[in-house]
Structure formats: C-alpha cells, structure tokens
C-alpha cells in the first residue's frame, strides 16, 4: 500500500519541513515511511535531519542521463527513509523537475507513506509538481486569517490538479491565539480535518540547530505531542502501489488556464 502526501503552505517559514519530519517520525511508528525533500529550489530538509554532508541527493536523481540509482539518495534515519535535496543553485538549474515523477514512482514501490516536503510558491512547474503527484495535501498554517487565505489558495491549486486536502495543521500557535475560532472557519472552508495545533516552541528551534527532527530531539515536548496527534488524525489510505506508480508515471502538469 502507499499514499503520498504533499506537505504544503502558501508561504515559506510556516513549518513545512519541520512538520514533514515530525509527521514522518510519528507515522513511522505504524508505517513504513519515506520522506522526500521536494522543495528542490529552497531545499533545507537536510539541515533538519543531520544530512548536510550527504554525498548523493535528490538533485543527482533529477538530471538528464542520470547514472546513480535512486537508492543512493535514500538515507535510513530516525526510523524513516529520507531523501534529502542539495542546496546548490547550479544543481537546481540543471535538474529537470519532471524527473521527480520517476523518482517518486520508484520510491512508492517500497513504502507505505510518502511525504513530500513541498515548495511554498506554486507559480512554477517545479513548485507545483509535488502537489500534483500527491494523493492528498497537508496544509500547514498559522492560526490567522491571512494564513487561512494563503492556505485556501494552496487547496484551490491542489484541487485543480485533483489532489484533495487531508487536513489543516496549525503550527507556531502562540498562547494568546484563538485557535478555536479560526479552526471553525478552517472546518468550513477546508477539506479534511484540523489535524492538530502545534504550539510555538523553543524545542523546535533547538532541534533544527541540533540537526535533528523534533521527535528525536525533544520527544516529550508539547509540540511533539501535537505532531503525534496530527499523525493519529491522518487516516492513511491503502493505495495499490502498482496503481499509484502508474499514476505518478503518467502525471502531467497541465498549464494553468
Ligand atoms: P518551511 O519549511 O515552511 O519554510 P521550517 O520547517 O523550515 O519552515 O520552519 C521555519 C523556521 O521556523 C525554522 O527555524 C523552525 O525551526 C521554526 N519553527 C517551525 N515550527 C516551529 C514551532 N512550532 N515553534 C518554534 N519554531 C518553529
Ligand atoms: Mg522548508
């Protein structure tokens, strides 16, 4: 079985990378999880996962005439299979985003849950592809009206490509914020459910500095609890791996009207 989720948001800095790794670790308690840094232009998952010195990354898999096997860019870390992406602008420019389809197809054959850490701006082909490839999208938001508005655009974009919303994950929630009111609005406008509200937490920043996912660095922090709750609320659907692989392989990125 496999289901692919894009972890996406309207803007950078909402916590997509943090959430991808935290959800990945929480889901890895029940599933075989593969996490991919599909934010190929602004890759930073490697810094969150202690993989800054990784020799082979997703960029090496996206070049024309590649001679490295997909496996060479898969690192077993924190109970998950992690595919980091490099940070070189030259490598990004040399990469063919369309090749992400083949890589995801191959990875889908051997995992239960695929999490695609996705780019923020949805304007370009490389940015939109993870959302197109995914079965469902997890929208990461702050509990504010402007952030909801950004998230709705992500959902609209995803739907235009046939990708449904798995749920909304509120992140960086401060004690004085009225999540309940915003959450009511989110329930009205978004598909899926509110997965959890993750508090603003020093432990999240400390984990990043230590190059570890939050659930490895501070497994009992309230933010870690919230990510566990979110993972528990994500009901993973058992897609047939061969069917999913076919869909990935044939996914086209339509031009925007
Ligand atoms: P994105 O991938 O959406 O750009 P990141 O996951 O890299 O966002 O997070 C951006 C910054 O915010 C990082 O420095 C991260 O440590 C911090 N951050 C994310 N979530 C939280 C949180 N719940 N509490 C405190 N800091 C957070
Ligand atoms: Mg990121």
- CA 14–ligand 2 middle distance (angstroms): 8
- CA 7–ligand 2 middle distance (angstroms): 10
Q: What is the 3-state secondary structure (H, E, C) of the chain?
A: CCEEEEEECCCCCCCHHHHHHHHHHHHCCCCCEEEEECCCCCCCHHHHCCCCCCCCCHHHHCCCCCCCCHHHHCEEECCEEEECCCCCHHHHHHCCHHHHHHHHHHHHCCCCEEEEECCCCCCCHHHHHHHHHCCEEEEEECCCHHHHHHHHHHHHHHHHCCCEEEEEEEEEECCCCCHHHHHHHHHHHCCCEEEEEEECCHHHHHHHHHCCCHHHHCCCCHHHHHHHHHHHHCCCCCCCHHHHHHHHHHCCCCCCC
**Strand pairing class (113-117; 33-37):** parallel
Q: Tell me the per-residue pLDDT of 12-63, one tens digit each, with 9 for 90 and over.
A: 899 999 999 999 999 999 999 999 999 999 999 999 999 999 999 999 999 9
pLDDT class for 177, splitting at 50, 70, 90?
Answer: confident
Q: Tell me the per-residue pLDDT of 90-138, one tens digit each, with 9 for 90 and over.
A: 999 899 888 998 999 999 988 999 999 999 977 777 788 899 889 999 9
pLDDT at residue 245 in the model = 73
Exposure string (b/e) for 204-221, b if CB count within 10 Å is 16 or more? beebbeeebbbbbbbeeb
The rounded distance, in Å, linking the Cα atoms of 161 and 213 is: 31
Task: Please check the confidence at residue 257 and state whether its pLDDT lies above 60.
Answer: no
Judge whether 251 and 114 are in contact, CB under 8 Å.
Answer: no
Q: Using CA positions, which residue lies closest to atom 14 of ligand 1?
A: 205
In the structure, which protein residues have their CB atom closer than 6 angstroms to any atom of ligand 1?
9, 12-18, 44, 171-172, 198, 200-201, 204-205, 208, 223
**Among the bound ligands, the one closest to the CA of 208:** 1
- Using a 10 angstrom Cβ sphere, with 0-12 exposed, 13-18 middle and 19 or more buried, the burial of residue 191 is middle
pLDDT at residue 129 in the model = 86
**Among the bound ligands, the one closest to the CA of 221:** 1
Query: Mutation test of ligand 1: which of 130, 141, 204, 213 has the most ligand atoms closer than 8 Å to its C-beta?
Result: 204
Rounded percentage of the chain residues whose pLDDT exceeds 90: 68
Task: Please check the confidence at residue 76 and state whether its pLDDT lies above 50.
Answer: yes
Mean pLDDT of 71-82: 98
pLDDT at residue 69 in the model = 96
Domains in the chain: boundaries: 4-249
Topology adopted by domain 4-249: Rossmann fold (3.40.50)
Judge whether 215 and 26 are in contact, CB under 8 Å.
Answer: yes
pLDDT at residue 127 in the model = 81
Average pLDDT, the chain: 91
- CA 201–ligand 1 middle distance (angstroms): 10
Query: Mutation test of ligand 1: which of 9, 13, 43, 121 has the most ligand atoms closer than 8 Å to its C-beta?
Result: 13
Of 32 and 157, the one with more pLDDT: 32
Q: Using CA positions, which residue lies closest to atom 5 of ligand 1?
A: 15
Q: What is the pTM of this model?
A: 0.95
The rounded distance, in Å, linking the Cα atoms of 35 and 114 is: 6
Q: Using CA positions, which residue lies closest to atom 10 of ligand 1?
A: 13
């Amino acid at each position: 079985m496999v289901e692919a989720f894009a972890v996406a948001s309207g803007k950078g800095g909402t916590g997509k990378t943090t959430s991808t790794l935290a959800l990945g670790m929480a889901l890895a308690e029940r599933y075989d999880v593969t996490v991919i840094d599909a934010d190929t232009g602004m890759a930073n998952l490697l810094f969150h996962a202690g993989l800054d010195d990784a020799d082979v990354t997703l960029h090496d898999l996206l070049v024309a005439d590649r001679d490295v096997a997909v496996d060479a860019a898969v690192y077993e870390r924190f109970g998950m299979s992690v595919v980091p992406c490099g940070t070189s602008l030259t490598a990004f420019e040399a990469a063919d985003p369309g090749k992400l389809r083949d890589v995801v197809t191959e990875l889908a054959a051997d995992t239960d849950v695929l999490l695609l850490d996705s780019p923020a701006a949805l304007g370009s082909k490389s940015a939109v592809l993870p959302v197109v490839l995914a079965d469902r999208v997890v929208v990461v938001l702050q509990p504010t009206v402007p952030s909801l508005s950004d998230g709705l655009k992500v959902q609209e974009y995803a739907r235009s490509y046939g990708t449904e919303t798995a749920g909304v994950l509120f992140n960086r929630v401060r004690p004085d914020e009225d999540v309940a009111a915003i959450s009511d609005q989110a329930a009205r406008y978004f598909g899926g459910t509110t997965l959890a509200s993750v508090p603003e937490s020093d432990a999240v920043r400390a984990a990043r500095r230590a190059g570890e996912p939050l659930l490895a660095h501070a497994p009992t922090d309230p933010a870690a609890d919230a990510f566990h709750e979110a993972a528990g609320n994500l009901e993973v659907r058992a897609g047939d791996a061969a069917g999913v692989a076919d869909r990935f392989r044939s996914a086209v990125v339509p031009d925007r009207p």
